[in-house]
Every structure is written in structure tokens, then in C-alpha cells.
Amino acid sequence: MGKEADQRGRVSIKPRELVSSAGFSVEYENKVFDQELREDIVSYLGEYRFKLQKYNYQLIFSKSGDEGWKLRDTHRLEAMGTKAARSIEERRLRKESTYRETAEAAGIEYLEMQLITAKDGDSVVWASPPGDEKEGYGPYGFFYIGKVKKNEDKKEISMAAIRVDNPTVTDFNRAFQELSGTESNFSQAEDFISKPVITSLLPEDLVDKILSRNFSLRNDPLERERFNLAMQILNPRIDQLVKFMRFGSIEERKKAFHALENFALEVKRDLEIGSRIIFEPKEEFASFVHKFGYEPPKVKGSCPIKSSNIFEKYQTLNSFLEGEGFVCPKCGQKALGPVGDQCPGCGITKEQYAIETGQTPCE
């Protein structure tokens, strides 16, 4: 994502291009690790295309530099509050509502205050009812249940995102009160998002029991098995897509991501009818994208669905090398501003560098 300082010294953000369902960005900062890209892709497929009932992930509460104690991702230790602020700014630039993102930022700060004194084994209870369907949100929300593990220099939080379909605010209030042990009489989704609670240990079976009592949860014991098998089939294409995200144009990246989505839907259909022998095309990635790179079915989710003309007011956004500074991986030439697809020092292009070294500039 391109950043540039304005005259007052603040960092302004250009809105990133999204896939049509708005749950995945095809633009990343240069410093993003391949594993981060991979996890984002798998998470997107899990929610938007496989509609998983439960998805697990990790967070860390630690100190870093002058920031103090913050809730962070597990890769670059970027503060979740920073991510939330960036999301708010992007949506403002796209002239979209920010009330949910503002509530999330407040919720992160509120959770950080509680994590300071949280004990080993404590649980996190965080709820996110669905957004307004008029804005393109899907008819489902999440309960995020975490478990705190205390180490010497950090606290690790194992989180589970549990999907609840077609819920009401009354359902959420009742379940949140039972799980957190605190009185809940919220009237809108943002109230829940801004007020996570840390409580004593919640056994997984108790969480499942409470949520099943308040919501119609799917009880499909083969769901996780099918998803894991699908990921084994999709892994080679995901690896190719991660590398392609470093070099392709915006439209090329979108088409490549759509190819993965469409192939994932095909794999999902085959697994659901009981097929265990699924045709995996062996052609080169370009041929794979040409075959499957059509617009997939739009699906509403926890992010509002993107309209077809939302970016008409913007020019083509920055390519991968148009970040907040560039250092050529071959000659060491430095540039403070955008450089496009070619080094201003030695003239090497991204494609030439990949051919000569067998790796991307980020490796």
C-alpha cells in the first residue's frame, strides 16, 4: 500500500484495490512476508468460499520499541491498532462508512487495557454482529473466543473465530452475557465490537454449548477435514499466487486471485459430493489463470461487498515497488519515492531480477 507524508507530517494512505467481494486486498506493503499473504488467502477462502464454522489464529500482546504493550500480529509484530487506523483511513478515502472500523479500534484499545493484568489461562470474549445488509455485509457475524498464555516477555492469545448465521442483537446479548459473565444490553453491532471482555477460563465445550443454545450452528464433523484436504490440493496454486502478487499488475493480480477462488469452489463442490480424486490442472500458472480467471460469484461477508464502480474516481494504484522507499536488491540504489517497475540505478526490472536470481526482490 502506498504511503506519503503530507505537509503537516502525517502519513496519508492510498486505498488498496480489493477483489469484488471486498474481503481481500490485492495490494500489500513491500515488507509483508509471504507467510502473511498465504494466511490471508487461506483465511479469505475459509470464510468467503468454504464458510467455515470455526477458524483459528494467533495474536501476541508484547512490547516493541517505543510503542509499549500492544496487541500484535505474529509475523512483523505490527500493532493491531495500527492496522485498524489504516483501515479507517482507507475507507474514508473511498467515501465509505467507518463506524465499524472505529468501534474495532476502540475495542482493540479496550482489550489491551485488560490484557495488562490478564492471567495465564484467562479467556477473551469478543463479539461482532453482522453489518448493515444495505451496505453489502453478509447475514452472519462472529464470536471471537481467545485463551491467554503468559510468557516472560509476552502474552500469546490463541483465538477462534466462530461464525453465527442470521443472528439477532437479542441472540448476541444473551450469548455474550453467558460467555463473559457481564451484563449485556447492547442495541447495535458497534457496541459489541468496542467492548471485548477478558474473563476466567472458558472450556471449549462450554463455549460450544452456549453458542449452540443461542444460535443455529452447523454440526458438520467433516467440514474441517474437507477444508484441510482442499488446502492440500490448492497449496501449489496458493504458492504461485503469493509469488505473483509481488509482480503482477493490479488487474493481473485480481484475475489470478479470481482463478484461485473459482478453482477452490470447484474443489469444494467435488469434496461435498464425496469425491476424493480431484483433477488438479498441471498447466503453467498463466494457463491456469486464463482458464479460471473469470469473475467468480459475489458473496457478502464480514466486509461489505464492493460495487463495480467504487474506484472510478481513482487512478491506477501503486505497483508493488511503489512503496515508502525502495532499495534495489541488486545494486543497492536507494529511492525515496515511487520507482515503478525498473531500478533507477542499474535499470534492472523485476522480471530480470527474478530470472537472474531465481527469487523475488522480497526474498
Domain positions in the chain: 20-52+221-300, 54-214
Query: From start to end of the chain, where are the E strands?
Result: 3-5, 11-13, 54-63, 69-72, 123-128, 140-150, 154-165, 197-199, 326-327, 334-335
What is the pTM (predicted TM-score) of this model? 0.74
Structure confidence at residue 334 (pLDDT): 53
Mean pLDDT by runs of 10 across the 363 residues of the chain is 36 49 52 83 90 93 88 90 88 85 95 96 96 83 96 94 94 97 94 96 95 90 91 93 84 90 93 73 86 85 46 27 48 50 61 50 38
Structure confidence at residue 61 (pLDDT): 97
Q: Is the dihedral of CA 131, 135, 138, 144 positive or negative?
A: negative
DSSP conformation letters of 119-160? PTT-EEEEEE----GGGT--SEEEEEEEEEEE-SSEEEEEEE
Structure confidence at residue 192 (pLDDT): 96
Structure confidence at residue 316 (pLDDT): 26
The CA distance from 302 to 320, in Å, is 27
Structure confidence at residue 275 (pLDDT): 72
Any idea how long the chain is? 363
Rg (CA), the chain: 22
Q: Please report, for residues 69, 87, 206, 324, the alpha-carbon distance to residue 149 in angstroms, rounded to integers and kept in the order given.
A: 15, 28, 19, 36
The CA distance from 165 to 258, in Å, is 25
The CA distance from 270 to 254, in Å, is 25
Work out the end-to-end distance of the chain between its first and last CA atoms, rounded to an integer number of angstroms.
18
| Burial per residue of 109-147, b for 16 or more beta-carbon CB atoms within 10 angstroms, e otherwise | ebbbebbeebeeebbbbbbbbbbeeeebbbebbbbbbbb
